[in-house]
Amino acid sequence: TLNNISFNGGTGDETIVVNVLGHTVDWGLSTNATDGKILWNFVDQASGVKGDTSAQTLNVNKMFKGTILAPAADVNQSANINGTLIAKNWNIIGKNATMMDTPFTGKITLVSAPEPAGVMTMGGFLGLALFSRRRAAVRL
């Protein structure tokens, strides 16, 4: 069981993205993260449903710092959250749980990957072009 995570080094201005795996996640972890610079992406690889890659339940049982990205999850909050919450449903359990809205200020560069079908098509055209050139050379 992981109870604490520390992010050391750097200038303190870095953006941190952490993928958390699990269908149901019970959050009881302490961090030293800067609230607005960390994105917690809750991912579920165990559900077995094609296309379903998001955690289904997140239970916040201890102070949470950072942005929670769990768009398909039910979030049950019984401790403070210092950050931003993106979830399907949000349930506050108990009177001591507060939400301190700290906007995400990190920088994320999106990189697009080529589609496999496009690469295959381009490879096919390249193969045809080489075959045609070779065939033309043989005729001479």
pLDDT digits (tens, 9 = 90+) for 106-138: 888 877 766 666 656 666 666 666 666 555 555
Distance separating alpha carbons of residues 68 and 59, to the nearest angstrom: 12
| 114 contacts: CB under 8 Å, gap ≥ 6 | none
Angle at Cα 75 formed by Cα 28 and Cα 23, nearest 5°?
Answer: 75
Q: How many helices (H) and strands (E) does the chain have?
A: 1, 11
Where residue 76 falls among pLDDT bands split at 50, 70, 90? very high
Q: Which domain holds residue 68?
A: 4-108
Same domain? For 84 and 120 the reply is: no
Same domain? For 66 and 101 the reply is: yes
Same domain? For 74 and 62 the reply is: yes
Same domain? For 14 and 40 the reply is: yes
Amino acid symbol at 30? S
pLDDT at 53: 58
Same domain? For 57 and 76 the reply is: yes
pLDDT at 91: 93
Same domain? For 127 and 64 the reply is: no
| pTM beyond cutoff 0.75 | no
pLDDT at 51: 59
Same domain? For 103 and 115 the reply is: no
pLDDT digits (tens, 9 = 90+) for 41-66: 887 655 555 655 566 888 988 888 88
